Amino acid sequence: MELNVVAGSGDLGAAVSMSVEGGARDPRTRCDQGQNHSFCKECLQEFWRTKETQECPVCRRRSSNGHPPINLALQNLCESFLKERNESCSSGSEEICSLHSEKLKLFCLEDKQPVCLVCRDSQQHVNHKFSPISEAVSSYKEELNTALKSFQQKFEYNKDIKEELEEIVQHIKSQAELTEHQIKQQFEKLHQFLRDEEEATITALREEEEQKKQMMKEKLEEMNRHISALSHTIKDMEEMMTANDVCFLKEFPVTMERTFVPFRGNSHCFRVLNAVGMPLRDYVKARGPTLSLPSSDFSQDLEACIVVSSVHSCFNYLVLKNWTL
């Protein structure tokens, strides 16, 4: 780091670092015998690293104090200057170079910041390329507008996915209720010898319904988070589009870095609920002579009855058609 100092004035009577931000962070007073020269702590430490002794960078006086005191007057002055500059920027009125008090007319393509004509000819911007402020703003606004449209499309896409998920949740509920009614209606004809199976089937049905409803709930929550994040991002980008040119250029890199959030589309597909089961007649054949029906009148209902041979097989009652959970 190169140590740059300038002569102070007024009640400071010292040399200060050219970095206003550095002085505001930690200004230190160096030298004894009434000669006070001020530097930011970082600049002073960098200078000392190149020397064998701790001496003042201006007058070369040595001091036994390895921890120079803070220059409160300089610190307050730097903080006041930074506060005024920030307020000026936020109000959209900062169009003057803080270093040379010249109007900012150019944009440095290497440093990505507005500069004045004096800055352009300084050592800091040697061999740099520049463009007019208006051209830089137009180029970046076009880039930001492209990103904005992309986020708006993603926002609408997520809204559509959310609506579909809500419809699926409702369909799961209604189909589960319908399936439950059909199961109960058929099991009533079989009376007590199928009561145990009925209870097991309904229990498994409930568990599967809750499981799939929970999965849909998680999907909805995920979509809500995406939509909320996109809403905030779009709002910030829209506000930035109307900002002052200089402020826009200063905030543009940070805003674009914050908005580049990886987007993951919904690659899952789900099946619509559908009741399937084994006809009771096939179930009776499988059970053979070990099964005794209460009455032969049940033979007409065998085709319509849906039964299961175990608790685990009742998961076939709830299937999401065309969707994979």
Mean pLDDT within 98-123: 88
> Up-side HSE of residue 1: CA atoms within 13 Å toward CB?
18
The Cα-based distances of 71 to 49, 83, 114, 204, 274 in angstroms read 22, 18, 32, 76, 78
Q: What is the pLDDT of residue 191?
A: 76
pLDDT 10s digits, 272-291: 334 334 444 454 454 444 44
pLDDT 10s digits, 210-235: 999 999 999 999 999 999 988 988 88
Q: What is the DSSP string of 251-307?
A: HHHHHHHHH----------EEE-----EEHHHHHHHHGGG---S-GGGGGGTTT-EE
User: 3.10.129.10, 3.30.1360.120, 3.30.160.60, 3.40.50.300: which CATH number matches 92-128?
Assistant: 3.30.160.60
Helix, strand or coil, per DSSP, at residue 62: strand
Mean pLDDT within 81-93: 63
Kindly report the pTM of this predicted structure. Answer: 0.31
Phi/psi of residue 30, each to 5°? -120, 160
d(CA 295, CA 134): 92
Domains in the chain: boundaries: 5-73, 92-128, 135-323
Q: What is the pLDDT of residue 173?
A: 94
Whether the CB-CB separation of 176 and 273 falls below 8 Å is answered with: yes
User: To 10 degrees, what angle do helices 195-241 and 245-259 make?
Assistant: 160
Per-residue pLDDT at 264 exceeds 60: no
pLDDT 10s digits, 16-68: 454 554 444 566 555 554 556 777 777 777 777 777 777 777 777 776 666 77
Per-residue pLDDT at 245 exceeds 80: yes
